[in-house]
Structure 1
């Protein structure tokens, strides 16, 4: 793996001008220059962040420009938080879990098992049920500005072998998020942590049996659909919680109109993903030809969801803040169940 990683790093360096296709900047010597790194690789970044940053750069012009870097390009994803906190980079697009945030909210970023069913659940949880206030308070304690959170895709398995029963999960070596891996280990899954750019090779060589990192849109976009054979329609979360962050001092130094412009442009990224993933998940299930769809029976999968609620209670015992967040998830999901169709289908 180390030798392949060196090869991949060299290949990236040689083709930086074409393969990476960084976001355009529109001023040679702006008054303010930021560096932002995303969790996403180049192909995915074309959708989830690059258009928003290019829009910001066009409008801000000589006042400010943001240089965009892709997954692991400046620092490994697991070091993103520390690099931003120290001012090595100015801003980050990631989930809390992947960037190893030392805050009380880290467990809930990324895929909190069965915390959401649909992508719209995430902005409602943040903007109407109080998560936004908690996130901002927790990050302010550690010198980081939490700008905003949004919904990404649901979390599904894409694997080399078909999954048709819970027993098929046992021993499955899977690339996934830390909290999702901690939960899936209860069912015999072996979570594997490697750099994002190594995943495709690891699937080809058999070092990974699959991934539980995304939905089907991302599998096709980044090429994982070419190195896996099956897609499990059951998911462990309806939407990933991802955010934009900035070094607090650098953010506070911005004039108010640039803070507002930054927020508006990043909101366009959240909005883009809402429809891009929602439509893509359906379209590729129907028209995608790379992977065969499989399912685990509902009655079996119901035991996974029941175990998730036990997992929530385990998390709640870790601190008062985590307990407060778990209560918000419980309240929200209870409200959605009581609201009935179309919010929840029993």
Structure 2
């Protein structure tokens, strides 16, 4: 948890300042353009309103566009289940039922395994690294190419930072203790867990507490201390594991129906891109601020904080990269992104070992 905080603070400060200046400039130049049309859109999300961080990221995106357009471009966000279930956002945007959505791409890897890179993969990139890949490492172009097959254009619009490993009803002493567990975990992380012997379930956030509390599942991962405490997961299980090796810096995205996007004036398109960047940086900063307090609250109330045994991490990493190679052999789109992503990951890890990890590791040991 300490390392995550150390690694993000400096980058957040710099990028947030630049983003806010850019957005303010956009605001000043567009709200005076009285010729711009009045447009109203709907946004479906994968989140319950009770999660003010994730759903709040979607809300802030919509609020910022309304502000920049002088109330002319309005997007109303809807919680999971209000229009469609939380795991049907992509389909709903693709078919034009609504104009846009806010979701995590790894919910839809059954449609194209390459979509997982939009959120992140096990033993992948931290939040700062992921943003570098999105904006300067070819990530946005690569993912927009994949989404174009679904009549969608996407923009990163949120990041939770490194997540926790989830809540378990019993203690894990070794790899063998995973076998037969029923656990909620989506994406490729779920595929890895399945190969480790876990009975994988995919459930939206609003259903996790009851499933865990009533024994329908034995374990569940969501995001981190703040959101997990809000969902009451600590009341259903006592062992809280870390790190969330499958989500080191997962991104959330705004998905926009491409036909609706192409009808927008260029000024509104620029606002969307600007508001998405602001939501991306703001959510990460908010999580780092809130999670430190909530983790203390959870531990003080009886939660048992546990590190995953080394044999679980070692085997999970081995399986993860075997899955990537297998997907590359089966899916040309996955292979194209993976090869470029892998080279990017190699380079930025070498850099971060020198400039950030060494400093963070020293502080983690000395504080």
Shorter-chain TM-score bucket reads: 0.7 to 0.9
- Pick one of 206, 225, 247 that aligns with 2:234: 225
The structure in which a higher percent of residues are helix is 2
2:253: which partner in 1? 243
Distance 1:318 1:171 in 2: 28
1:44: which partner in 2? 51
1:330: which partner in 2? 342
1:121: which partner in 2? 129
CA contact (8 A) 2:158 2:282 kept: no
Distance 1:274 1:139, change over 3 A: same
1:148: which partner in 2? 156
Superposed, 1:307-322 pairs within 5 Å as: 307-322=319-334
Deviation at 1:299, TM superposition (A): 5.3
Distance 1:181 1:94, change over 3 A: same
CA contact (8 A) 1:95 1:109 kept: yes
CA contact (8 A) 1:110 1:177 kept: no
Distance 1:76 1:158, change over 3 A: same
CA contact (8 A) 1:203 1:228 kept: yes
- Which residues of structure 2 form unaligned runs of 5+? 1-36, 362-367
CA contact (8 A) 1:96 1:105 kept: no
Deviation at 1:51, TM superposition (A): 2.4
Deviation at 1:271, TM superposition (A): 0.9
1:68: which partner in 2? 77
CA contact (8 A) 2:156 2:251 kept: no
Distance 1:168 1:285, change over 3 A: farther
Q: How many residues align?
A: 316
Question: TM-score by structure 2 length?
Answer: 0.78
Distance 2:149 2:262 in 1: 15
- Pick one of 98, 103, 107 that aligns with 2:116: 107
2:141: which partner in 1? 133
- Pick one of 251, 255, 259 that aligns with 2:265: 255
Distance 1:299 1:206 in 2: 26
- Which residues of structure 1 form unaligned runs of 5+? 1-29
CA contact (8 A) 1:77 1:99 kept: no
Deviation at 1:211, TM superposition (A): 1.0
1:171-207 alpha-carbon deviations (Å, 9 max, x no partner): 1111121322111111111111334322211111110
Distance 1:213 1:176 in 2: 8
1:165: which partner in 2? 174
Distance 2:61 2:232 in 1: 23
CA contact (8 A) 2:226 2:291 kept: yes
Deviation at 1:213, TM superposition (A): 2.9
Distance 1:314 1:32 in 2: 45
Q: Which has the higher contact order (CA 8 A, sep 6+)?
A: 2
Task: Give the secondary structure class of the aligned counterpart of 2:40.
Answer: strand
Distance 1:194 1:142, change over 3 A: closer
Deviation at 1:316, TM superposition (A): 1.4
CA contact (8 A) 1:126 1:149 kept: no
1:134-164 alpha-carbon deviations (Å, 9 max, x no partner): 1112222331111335532434222222233
Moved more, 324-333 or 296-305: 296-305
2:16: which partner in 1? none
Distance 1:97 1:287 in 2: 30
2:212: which partner in 1? 203
Runs of 4+ in 1 over 6 A off after TM superposition: none
CA contact (8 A) 1:285 1:293 kept: no
1:21-59 alpha-carbon deviations (Å, 9 max, x no partner): xxxxxxxxx821100011111122453222232232233
